């Protein structure tokens, strides 16, 4: 039903999928780094502190720091991209729906309440 609704409003689904895929890349990086992050703590303890190798502790600590920074940056980019995606989709939907409302012929638009107009639009899209 969503695809039919978007097609009826002339919104390009392929563009939405491409934009969503662009948002997915930082999301995937954030997920991967959040899964790797706890592993560095076990490496610091097992291979560094138990063996007394401070060079290994420093190396794993640095890798953990880089992983944490990458996690924060990818989460930030992900949230920005998804907000932009949401705003673009909302803007397109709002403009297309209001354009359809303004150009729809009704019997007497002034006598109808806003809720009645929206209910009739919903009814039109459900029964096509």
**Tokens for 109?**
């638009």
Predicted confidence at residue 18, as pLDDT, reads 85
Q: What pLDDT score does 88 carry? A: 84
For the record, the structure tokens of 27 come out as 């999301």
Q: What is the DSSP letter of 109?
A: G
- Give the mean pLDDT of 21-30: 91
Q: Residue 52 is encoded by which pair of tokens?
A: 């007394």
* pLDDT per position as a tens digit, 53-94: 888 888 989 999 999 999 999 999 999 999 998 888 888 878
88, 64 Cβ separation under 8 angstroms: no
| Residues in contact with 47: Cβ distance below 8 Å, sequence separation at least 6, in sequence order | 53, 56, 60
For the segment 98-105, the average pLDDT, to the nearest whole number, is: 70
Q: What is residue 49's predicted lDDT score, i.e. its pLDDT?
A: 82
Name which of 74, 60, 96 is nearest 23 in CA terms: 74
pLDDT of residue 65: 94
């Amino acid at each position: 039903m969503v695809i039919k609704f978007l097609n009826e409003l002339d919104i390009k689904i392929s563009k939405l999928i491409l934009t969503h895929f662009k948002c997915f890349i930082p999301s995937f990086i954030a997920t991967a780094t959040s899964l790797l992050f706890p592993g560095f703590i076990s490496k610091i303890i097992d291979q560094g502190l138990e063996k007394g190798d401070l060079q290994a502790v420093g190396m794993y600590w640095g890798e953990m720091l880089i992983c944490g920074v990458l996690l924060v940056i990818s989460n930030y980019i992900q949230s920005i991209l998804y907000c932009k995606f949401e705003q673009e989709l909302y803007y397109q939907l709002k403009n297309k729906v209001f354009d359809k409302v303004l150009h729809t012929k009704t019997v007497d638009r002034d006598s109808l309440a806003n809720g009645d107009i929206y209910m009739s639009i919903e009814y039109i899209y459900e029964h096509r």
